Amino acid sequence: MIALTRYSLLSALLGVAAIGACGSDDRPPAASNGGSSTSGGFSVSGTAQLPEGGSEPSESGAAGALAGAGDSDAGGAGGVADIGDAGSGLGGHGTLEPPVDPLCPDAPSAADESELLASSPGPKLFGGISNDELVLAWTVSVADEVVLHYASRMTSSSSFGDEKQRPIPAALSDAVALAGDGLRVVYVTEDRRSFGQLSRSERGADFEPDAGGDFDLLAGDVAQLGETEAYGDPVLAPNDRTLLYSRFGGARTKTIFKSDRFSVFAPWPTGTELAVSAELEASPPERMQPTALSSDGYSLFVWDGAASTQWLASFSAESGSYASTGNLGDRRGATPDAPCTRIYYGRASGLQTARFE
């Protein structure tokens, strides 16, 4: 029923788009260095285009983020927190021109660390937290089985409880991705040639397999993968219109890819390499694993498996790429809240959170 509703809405959107296309050909050109485009998400004038996951972090945008997902009462059960309105925040279509102050600090430190929930058997791999910080997901691998765990809480300052779990037979042991609304979980399929998804109709319900087809385009384009290449490490941006993932193997050094969709009801198209500086390139056959994208799109969080180190990378409008600016140590899976004043992550001792400053 969920899948049917999503794709019925998609059909309607495509129909409207087709009618509009027949009546006008005023579509903006693709963005390029020195150009400007408002195609998908927002535009960048005179610089390379930022990922769809962010938008102009204007005063109103930052305020929208602070008043939305960072609020302890925001994003009621089943809803996506209000992280900015049209023209600002995640949903905006503004023009980004330097200088701009990113939400996340360039050289951060973590303070006042605390455990997120009571310890349970088995090492936990952090999966994600909802936009309003009220739903937490992680996985535990037992023998050859990946088990999804998820918990909820009433406010962002209270403890997580009501823990539930369910095995994901078709999943590999990579970290899963939790959607910002807390209603979908994305995982890597056993053959590493696509991604699978679990979904639920509302918070409090159980996650079930979702055959809605969100990843059909990616799965259908595996011919572009080399014989030794594979997919991994899905990350859903807070706006649910940008997917980050790994594509690695062979001689590939740039392993972080980005897929942008025009609507939250659309399937994910084939992704493209994310522009990163040399220190964020991998040494084959290793890979750099994306773990999060900040709500303004300026800050990328990356786990370096070879060095067992979590990095923060910031976008440079001058170079049009992300470059590492902060070492977060062994805080694997680091994911920021909407205003980027707190991070969530996993360590050998368990799942934790800390102030980010």
Contacts of range 27-32, beta carbons closer than 8 Å, 24 or more positions apart = none
Q: pLDDT band for 219, please (50, 70, 90 cuts).
A: confident
- The answer as to whether 7 is a domain residue is no
| More reliable by pLDDT, 220 or 62 | 220
CATH number of the domain at 288, please.
2.120.10
In a domain? residue 125: yes
The two structure tokens encoding residue 224: 């572009």
Q: Is 26 within the bounds of a domain?
A: no
Let me know if residue 335 belongs to a domain.
yes
pTM of the model: 0.76
251: left (phi over 0), alpha (psi -120 to 50) or beta: alpha
pLDDT-derived band at 131, boundaries 50, 70, 90: very high
Domains: count for the chain: 1
The encoded tokens of residue 270 equal: 């084939």
Task: Report if residue 59 sits inside a domain.
Answer: no
Q: Which residue has the higher pLDDT, 223 or 302?
A: 302
61, two tokens: 């945008």
Q: What is the DSSP letter of 189?
A: B
- How confident is the model at residue 120, as a pLDDT? 62
Higher pLDDT residue, 5 or 215? Answer: 215
CA distances from 28 to 25, 35, 39, 50, 103 (A): 9, 11, 6, 16, 28
Residue 351 lies in a domain: yes
Domain that holds residue 243: 110-356
6: confidence class by pLDDT, cuts 50, 70, 90: low
| Residue 118 binned pLDDT confidence (cut-offs 50, 70, 90) | low
Considering the domain boundaries, does residue 2 fall inside one?
A: no
Structural domain includes residue 28: no
Q: Are 186 and 162 in contact (CB under 8 A)?
A: no
